[in-house]
Every structure is written in C-alpha cells, then in structure tokens.
Structure 1
Amino acid sequence: MAERMLQFVSLPQEMPEKRPAAERREDFGEIYRAFAVDHAERQASRCSQCGVPFCSIHCPLGNNIPDWLKLTAEDRLEEAYRLSAATNTFPEICGRICPQDRLCEGNCVIEKGFESVTIGAVEKFITETAFEKDWVKPRMPSRERAQSVGIVGAGPAGLAAAEWLRALGYQVHVYDRHDRIGGLMVYGIPSFKLEKDVLARRHALLAAQGIVFHLSTPIGSAAGETSFESLRETHDAVFVGTGVYRSREVSVPGSGLGGVVQALAFLTASNRRGYHETPGEDAILHAGDKHVVVIGGGDTAMDCVRTSIRQGARKVTCLYRRDRANMPGSIQEVKNAEEEGVEFAWLAAPEAFLGDGTVNAVRAHRMRLSLPDASGRQSVEAVPDSSFTIEADLVIKALGFDPEDLPGTWDAPELAVTRWGTLKVSPGRFETSIPGVFAGGDIVRGASLVVWAIRDGREAAAEMHQFLSAKESKSAEPATQMAVAE
C-alpha cells in the first residue's frame, strides 16, 4: 500500500507492460497486459491531489479522478470502483479507448516535467478488478413506472440513456439495426483496442437490469422496417442515439475502382471475422498479402492501418495531408502503429487512384501548411509538380463520418436538422423539434468521442425524466379533479 500521495517526485510513470510488436502483429488481442495490484497502487500514488483537478475538468464526464486514484493507492478498490462508476456508465470501455493523452492525462498538472499519472490504465484496472470480485451489479430501480421509453441506437449514447432511465424505473426498449449492441464500438473498433467480450459482458448486465433489446430491427419506412411513427405511438418518449455512419468521400479520379473501399466496410468485415462470420466480399475487404494505402489521419485511420498489419499486409502506408503535429488521431495510436510496421506519408494527399478496373497504385502530391483558416487551424495547399506514386492493391478511405438523412429515411420531415445534417436539439435539454423526442451523441454533435456520447446519454436521460414526470402529473390531473368533485 502506498504510504502517501504525491509520489510523482520519486516514482516514474509506468504504463502496463505492452506486448512486443512482433507478437501483437499476429493476433487481435489487446496490446497491454494487466496491471498488478501493487503496480496500480504505486502509479495511483503519483497523483499530486492538486487543488484544481484539471484531469477532472477536461474529462467530459467530470470523473472524480483524484479521489479514486487516492482510494486505489490506499488499496480501497471497491470504494474506488463505486466512485468511478458514479460518474461513468461504462468505465471499463473508457479506460480502454478514451484518448487520455488529449483529455485527462494530457491535462495532468505533473505532466510537464514528471509525466502524467496513468489514469486510463488505473481506471481499467479498477473496473476489471470490480468485475473479477463481483462488485459490478445492475442498477435496479427502487420502483417500477408504467411509462415506457424507446431508444433508437445501441451505441454509447443510447445505452447510457437506457441504463439511467431504467434505473429510474421506466420500461426501456432499445432498437438497433445491428445484431449486437455497441454501435461503432462493436463493428468499428478493432478488438486490439476493445475486446468484444467486454461489450458482451455489459450487454448481459443491461439485460439483467430489465432493458429490452430489439436487435436487427432497423427504423425506417421501407417494407419490413419499424416505422418511426409507430415507435412514437408505442412509447411515452423516444431518444435518438443513432450515431453517424455515412462515410465521407474523396473526390479524385478512380474512386470507383475495385479495391477502393470505405473504412467502416473494412473494419466491419474484420470484426465479423472475429465472431467467425465471414462476409461474402471477404477477399475484397481483406488486407492479406496486399499493398495497403489508408487515406486519413484520425483514429479510424489508425484502426485500419493496424488491422491491415494483423491481416498480413505486405506493406501499409498511411497518407495524411497534414503533418504529425496536426493529425486529429491519438499520438499514442500513431506510436503503436509505427512500432507495428506502418509507414506514414505526412503532408501528402491523393491525386488519383490508378488501375484498370482494379486499383494498383495511388498518385499523390505533396502538401504544405499555409495560413490558419477561419477555425484557427492551418490550411493546406498542394506543392506544384510534387506528384509521386505508391503501389496499392487495397485503398481504404478513412475520412470520417457524416449523419444519414434521418428525416427522409424515417419519413419524418418535421424532424429538424442543422446544415450539417445533425439533429437540432434545444440547448441543454436535448429535445428535438418533435415534442417527446430527444437526441444526443454523434447524431447531434457530429462524429466525436465515446465519452462525449456517454455524457449526452446521461444528461438527456435526466431531461427525459423531467419531461415524463411532467407528462405523468398532467395525465393524473383530470382524475384528481373528478375525485374532488365526487
């Protein structure tokens, strides 16, 4: 047990042991080994217990990080878990996939000079210990309510809202087009970052809590789909947490060639293989023995390059139009990719995909950073006469995601959207233009982080609770007035 906190002056930062790159290239297992108890306690004791906890301030969920670090250092792990779970619906997921280097750890006050506390690794350790010790239980309601809620989307926003509303006693039904819960977490994120039994374990807990799941149930106006109108008629309130799934395109010649694919299709096929489900287009969506070029610099691009390595690609190149310092993805993910053999072509953008029916090369040109644009970020421009060619049997476009046309798909023109296609909601209230229909997560804020979706789901649940309570009180008024008259 750590004797006291503030041990950062004598204890260096240590992450859990990372599996050797040569070993992890061969499978899809998570790359970090688990912390031992004494190791986790020592690392937690490095916390400075500062007066202004910037780690908590920069956590979208406002996690009480210094407090549960102190409890961990004192070997009070069950208390640490309770405190962690009080603000985070899915700490076992955030401990694995949150970009801590941009959030809590990146804002740790000892980061400059002593390196930050390994917050994410300790969070994962606390939660896995809690599961091992059977401390994790479904939050059962103290009383049942007759009102029901429909949740569209079993991603992090929808699941967080469902868990909170069920804990309040509502009858919660979750609808999702996929056959498993998790949204992009199940089919978009590779197992080496989030092993799928973690999601299956949480699914079992939510089902035990009394949440009813309707999987493989798309919402829409086509034959065989559940209509949005019937969903509203069935439930007293609806939450929309569909996320964003429409892949962005790159407008260059050759985009229609065989072997030029979208990141989500590639990652979904890979994850389905992990479930021993082989899609029909398996050969197209597999990097084995191919020269792979991935276009993009975000976390999805990193997932694609690292998946390609594990599938046995001959060579994997990531093409990104800005430099390393300006890439949107996690710095740690870039480091992991480089260790595993990925090559990066910084300040380079595709000019055309070449081939006769099937892609065989990417012609790109060099880019240079220019003056900041309206957002304050440096814009980029092509360097004249700088074209070069990269051999490619498989090109994966990982350029981000945009919202689908929900008003059109759901035959709900009254569902207002922004100019970006995201759903419009009342600020701080999460209610859409349709009374009783709420929304949160990526479908409102655009493609973002899982942790922000969890926050939206929890806060939207609180607003829905107020709405449903007011609705219940209003429906009870006529009966009360009649009783008084009698």
Structure 2
Amino acid sequence: MPNQMLQFVTTEQKTPHKRDVETRRADFGEIYAEFDPAAAAQQAARCSQCGVPFCQVHCPVHNNIPDWLMLTAEGRLEEAYEVSQATNNFPEICGRICPQDRLCEGNCVIEQSGHGTVTIGAVEKYITDTAWEKGWVKAVKPTKERQQSVGIIGAGPAGLAAAEELRRKGYQVTVYDRYDRIGGLMIYGIPNFKLEKEVVERRARLIADAGVAFKLNFEVGRDATLDELRIQHDAVLVATGVYKARDLQAPGSGLANIQPAMDYLTASNRTGLGDEVPAFDDGTLDAKGKRVVVIGGGDTAMDCVRTAVRQGAVSVKCLYRRNRANMPGSQREVANAEEEGVEFVWLSAPEAFLGDEKVSGVRASRVHLGVADATGRQAPQILPESAYTVEADLVIKALGFDPEDLPDRFQAEALETTRWGTLKVSYKNMMTSLDGVFAAGDIVRGASLVVWAIRDGRDAADQIDGYLQSKAAGRAETASAVAAE
C-alpha cells in the first residue's frame, strides 16, 4: 500500500468500476462500484499536496481534501473520516452527487497539468461508506444543553445541516417539512442510480438520534403560520428550497402527457420506495414503451433522461437550446446519459407542442449562438425557416425552479423578497426582514447544488448561535441591572 504522496507521475488515474451499460440500464442501482482499500489508497496517493490546494478552494464547504487524501493513502481511514466530516455534514452524499468535474476535481492541479485529476469524489464516498460499515459515524452529542429552541422549515440539505450543527451547540431543534419523508430533493428529486435512498435515510436517522425533532406532513401556512412558529421558538430558519417549476409557454402546452420534471422524478422515486403512485401505475408518469423528449440542459434534465431509459422508454431525446459546452449540467452526467442511449439534440429551441388531445411531437427551431450575454454565455438566436418536429409520447419540462411566494404561503406579509422571489437576507447575519427569522439554501441563492445548501445551512447555524447568545447575554444584563436596583 502506498505510504507517500505525489504518485501521479507513475500511477494512472482510475475510477471505481462502472457497471456495463446494458446492466445499469435495467435497474436503478448506483452505477459505480466501491473502491477496494488498495485502489482507494493508491488513487489518494496521486495527490500532489499543493501548497495552495485549488480543490479545497473550489469546494463550497472547503473540505480539507489534501489531508484526508494523505490519511487515506496511509491507511488511516478513521482519521480521514474525522477530517472529512469536520467540514461536511453529508460527505457520503456529496461524494455521490456533487459535480466534482465542475468543483474540486475540475480545479485539481494535476488535472491542469495533464495527468488526470485525483478521483476525489470516489475517495470521499469510500471513506464515509467505510466509516458507516465500521461504526465510526456517531450522532452528535452536545457538551451542554441549552433551553433555547430553533424551528427549521424544510428538511432538505440546508435545513438538515443547520439542524445538526445547532444540536451540536446544544439547542433544542424542531424541523418542519410538508413531505412525509426527511431529505427534500435528496429523497424525492434525485434518482437512485445517483443516490440510493438508504444513504439519505440513515443520515436522517442519525440526526434524529442526536435529538432533533421532526414534524412531517406539516405545512407552514396551513398547520401554523410563520408568526405562530416565531412564538414557539427563539429563532426560525427558513430552508424550504425552491420547488416552483419554470414553464415553457407555447402553443399546445395544455396537451396531455406534458409533465413537469419534479412530478415525473417524484413519482419514480416514490415507486422505488414502495409507495402507491396512481399516476405512475396508470402509465401517466411512466416512460415505458414511450418516445420521451426532455426539454432542458441542467442536472434535473439529466436525471429525467436517465430515469426514462431505466423505465423502458422506446427512445429518449434531450432538447437543449445551447451547445454541449454551454450547458449547465455536469459533463460527467451527459457522458453517462450518452452511454445509456440518450440522444442530445443541441441548439434546439422548442416552439410548440403538437397533437390533438395528447402530445404527439415537439416543434423546434435550430439555434445559432451569438454574442455572449451578461452571464458570459452566448445568447441563442433562432435561425429563420429552420423548424422541425421531434415525435414524442411523453414530454418532460426540466427548465429549472423558482421560489414559491413564501410571504403569501406563510401568511407573513412583512417577509421581504428580492425581485427574483428569493428571500431577502442581510449577508452579515443571514437574517430576513423579520427579527429572529433566518434563511439559507436555495430559497436565498436560487436553485443550486446540494453542497452549497450544506454550506449555507452550516453558516446559518453559526449566525443563529450568535444571535441567540447575544439575546441571552442581553437578558442576563437586564436581570443583573434589575437585581442591582
């Protein structure tokens, strides 16, 4: 087993074995096998131990990647896990679903030098999966219990990360969620072939074992207003995520068999979890035997096309208005989808949906990419007289997500929002326009990555702690002054 680093010159990059295409197309199991100990140590030893670790700089939670790679190379896995989990509440989840090609691995120095990146994500997954197997993963135990309570709205990655960190500090934490399971998009949005649900469920059990209370099937605005939660708790964190699907308003939008991505993915995941899903059972949200067209180019679109393949679609096509270089989704996911038989129709702008009662096709036009816009991406321009039709029995819109109208939903008119509908917060303390009400994750930054939600949840926990300690100190001073009088 290697016991020194900088092996990238003599050791080639290798990833865990990827199951062959025909096998993985037939089920929803994760597509990568586990590293064995020798292979994980060998690949970790390729790290160059940079003086300025760009992998760490470009990791939203600033994982101390070089250190836990070195510990893995030396066979010190329990220490590697301790270092890994010190900055990340869900390392085994990030190891599976983070777009490492855009973050840590994409900025690896040896990748830039042409030697191939260190397989950081696979090693992270291996470390934490080993930690679970060995019993090293323990529920947090606060050194001191505090009487102050915090209510968290949303059991997704931001809310869960904040809940665990606040419990670590000794606060009494209650998480409210409108769904019947803990995990948010991790449980209902991300397919099993990327993130098996037991991985999320065991984390949820661990957080509950730490003393965090969960109230599921609880909808703020229906079961309690935001003001009522503020009365019950000393502080409230809003971490709802963003669930309002962006729509494509075009002729024929009202035809049957045109579905939002989240409805489609949720039905598939619920079915996999053993739930009864009538819209799946009657074929409405099942791609089996259908010609499927997915509109969009992000990670959600990749989840949809790869799910349709596994459900037995006759054909799966992805229409995206830009080219491959300009798509927002992970290039690794695109490559996996192509291997599994998905056809990408680049530079295509859907204009209308065709059919009588049910959709039978999508009319689109060819696109030319013009001058870059304010975001730095080339703006799509429709080419005249370039329309064509793609046949379809099921069309899935995967165009991204926007925030719901939380001031209206929560019955909290004083809760201020930005022009994009996200919650307005002070970036000094992550507090909203309401005293003691904080916000974190996608509901503040817009639809983003799980790892960014984890970072925001951890930061919010620190800010809430500071706020509650300040309030406690103020009350103590007041009580002291009254006693002195």
Give TM class, smaller chain. over 0.9
The count of corresponding residues between Structure 1 and Structure 2 is 482
Q: CA deviation at 1:376?
A: 1.9
Counterpart among 267, 274, 277 of residue 276 in structure 1: 274
Counterpart residue number, 2:83:
83
Distance in 2, Cα, partners of 1:109 & 1:13 = 14
Provide the C-alpha distance between the structure 1 equivalents of 2:430 and 2:30, rounded to a whole number of angstroms. 35
Name the structure 1 match of 2:473.
473
Q: Letter of the aligned partner of 2:126 in structure 1?
A: F
CA displacement at 1:484 relative to structure 2 = 3.3
Question: Hey, which bits of structure 1, 4+ residues long, moved more than 4 A?
Answer: none
| Inter-partner Cα distance in structure 1 for 2:285 and 2:231 | 41
Counterpart residue number, 2:149: 148
Greater displacement, 273-282 / 260-269: 273-282
Deviations 1:262-309 (A, max 9, x none): 000000000000111122212211101000000000000000000000
Q: Which residue of 1 aligns with 2:257?
A: 259
Deviation track 1:36-92 (CA, whole Å, cap 9, x = no partner) reads 000000000000001110000000111000000000000000000000000001101
Q: Residues 269 and 278 of structure 1 are in contact (CA less than 8 Å); yes or no, is this contact kept in structure 2?
A: no
- CA deviations over 1:141-191 (Å, ceiling 9, x no partner): 001101000000000000011000011000000000011111111100001
1:234 matched to which residue of 2?
232
**Secondary structure of 1:69's aligned partner:** helix
- Cα deviation, 1:116-142, whole Å, max 9, x if unaligned, reads 000000000000000001000011100
Secondary structure at 1:213 match in 2 = strand
- What secondary structure does 1:448 align onto? coil
Q: Deviations over 1:326-345 (max 9, x none)?
A: 11000000000011110010
1:286 counterpart letter in structure 2: D
**Counterpart in 1 of 2:74?**
74
SS at the partner of 1:286? coil
State how far apart, in whole Å, the 1-side matches of 2:436 and 2:3 are.
53
2:163 alignment partner, SS class: helix
Share of identical aligned residues, percent? 63
Local SS of the residue matching 1:207: helix
Give the whole-Å Cα distance in 2 for the aligned partners of 1:432 and 1:351.
39
Partner deviation per Cα, 1:202-221 (whole Å, 9 max, x = no partner) = 0110011000000111111x
Distance between the aligned counterparts of 1:344 and 1:478, measured in 2?
66
Corresponding residue SS for 1:281: helix
What is the SS of the residue equivalent to 2:86? helix
* 1:277 counterpart letter in structure 2: D
Which residue identity is paired with 1:165?
L
SS of the equivalent of 2:353 reads: strand
Shift of 1:193: 0.3
Q: Which residue of 1 aligns with 2:330?
A: 330
CA distance in 2, matches of 1:192, 1:183: 17
Distance 2:427 2:184 in 1: 25
Which residue matches 2:387?
387
Question: Whole-Å Cα distance in 2 between the matches of residues 265 and 64 of structure 1?
Answer: 37
Tell me, in whole angstroms, the C-alpha distance in 2 between the residues paired with 1:315 and 1:262.
19
Match of 1:121 in 2: 122
- Give the C-alpha shift of residue 481 in structure 1: 2.8
Separation of aligned partners in 1, 2:351 and 2:427: 41
Q: Indicate the SS of the match to 2:275.
A: coil
SS in 1 for 2:460: helix
State whether structure 2 residue 359 is matched by structure 1 residue 359.
Answer: yes
Q: Provide the TM-score with structure 2 as the length reference.
A: 0.98
Aligned pairs for 1:23-102 (under 5 A) are 23-102=23-102
Question: Counterpart amino acid of 2:6?
Answer: L
| Counterparts of 1:305 and 1:376, CA distance in 2 | 27
The answer to whether the aligner puts 1:250 opposite 2:248 as a matched pair is yes
| Aligned residue type for 2:117 | S
**Pair 1:203 & 2:201 matched:** no
CA distance in 2, matches of 1:279, 1:11: 49
After superposing the two structures, state which structure 1 stretch, 93-102 or 475-484, moved more.
475-484
TM-score, normalised to structure 1, is 0.98
- The match for 1:110 is 110
Counterpart CA distance in 1 for 2:370 and 2:470 is: 54
| Alignment partners' CA distance in 1, 2:464 and 2:482 | 28
Q: Deviations over 1:88-119 (max 9, x none)?
A: 01101100000000000000000031010000
Q: What secondary structure does 1:218 align onto? A: coil
Query: 1:87 is paired with a residue of what secondary structure?
Result: coil
Matches within 5 A, 1:329-478: 329-478=329-478
**Could you tell me which residue of structure 1 aligns to residue 9 of structure 2?**
9
Deviation of 1:11 (Å): 0.6
SS of the residue corresponding to residue 132 of structure 2 reads helix
Structure 2: 5+ residue stretches without partners: none
Shift of 1:349: 1.3
Q: Which position in structure 1 is the counterpart of 2:317?
A: 317
The separation in 2 between residues aligned to 1:199 and 1:375, in whole angstroms, is 34
Unaligned segments of structure 1, at least 5 residues = none
**Helix, strand or coil at the partner of 1:424:** coil
Contact 1:137–1:205 (8 Å) recurs in 2: yes
Amino acid at match of 2:345: A
Shift of 1:227: 1.5
**Secondary structure of the equivalent of 1:468?**
helix
**Partner amino acid for 2:198?**
D
Distance 2:323 2:350 in 1: 15
Report the 3-state secondary structure (helix = DSSP H, G, I; strand = E; otherwise coil) of the residue aligned with 2:294: strand
Counterpart Cα distance in 2 of 1:164 and 1:484: 37
Counterpart amino acid of 1:17? Answer: H
Cα distance in 1 for partners of 2:425, 2:478 equals 31
**Secondary structure of the corresponding residue to residue 110 of structure 1:** helix
Q: Distance in 2 between matches of 1:246 and 1:418?
A: 16
1:457 is displaced (CA, Å) by 0.5
CA distance in 1, matches of 2:480, 2:198: 50
Superposition map of 1:170-209 within 5 A: 170-209=171-210
Following the alignment from structure 1 to structure 2, what is the Cα–Cα distance between the partners of residues 441 and 429? 14
**Equivalent residue letter for 2:320:** Y
The secondary structure found in structure 1 opposite 2:262 is: helix
